Amino acid sequence: GDVVSFGDLATKLQVSRASISTSIRILEERGLVKRVTKPGERQDFFRLAANPYGTMLKGIQKRNRSIQDDIAQTIQSLPADADAIGRLTAYADFYASLDAAVAVALRKLNSSNDLTTGQQPTALKDQSDDQ
């Protein structure tokens, strides 16, 4: 895959090296970019990770499930007749729906051939060309 240098990112995006550094750290933590070194080069280079969208969806799934667990624990800790239980159950249902949608998106992504390219699905490309 293509690699881009730290300096080129700052220049192309017209932002400070400090904000690039912060953004890259977040993207690295989420497994979306990989840091690459080149022999004889002092600066860092970056490449889009393989299957960045799948990685992103798995991160969303993990956070959703953690929130669902927190909501379930909160409901269990309340008295059965507490007013908040209805609202918390609706909140849990929202996250369950979100979780189901993310699972569908992951399945769809994993069955496509665009796993490593990070490209838009062909259907989206075709629509954007019409405008």
Query: What's residue 31's pLDDT?
Result: 86
Which residues partner with 33 through β-bridges? 48
What is the structure's pLDDT at 113? 56
Residue 130 has pLDDT above 80, yes or no: no
Radius of gyration of the chain (CA): 20
Q: Angle at Cα 117 formed by Cα 111 and Cα 123, nearest 5°?
A: 60
Answer whether 0.85 is exceeded by the pTM: no
Sheet hosting strand 45-48, strand order edge to edge: 4-5, 45-48, 33-36
* Tokens read off for 61: 């799934």
Residues 19-77: tens digit of each pLDDT = 888 999 999 988 899 988 888 888 889 998 888 889 889 999 999 999 999 999 999 99
Distance (Å, rounded) from C-alpha 112 to C-alpha 114? 6
Question: Which residue in 76, 100, 102, 104 sits closest to 89, CA to CA?
Answer: 76
Whether residue 124 has pLDDT greater than 80? no
Residue 116 clears pLDDT 60, i.e. is over it: no
Beta bridge partners of 1: none
- Residue 90 pLDDT grade (very low, low, confident, very high; cuts 50, 70, 90): very high
Element (H, E) at 34: strand 33-36
Confidence of residue 7 (pLDDT cuts 50, 70, 90): confident
Confidence of residue 85 (pLDDT cuts 50, 70, 90): very high
Asked whether the predicted pLDDT for residue 126 surpasses 50, the reply is: no
Give pLDDT, residue 129: 46
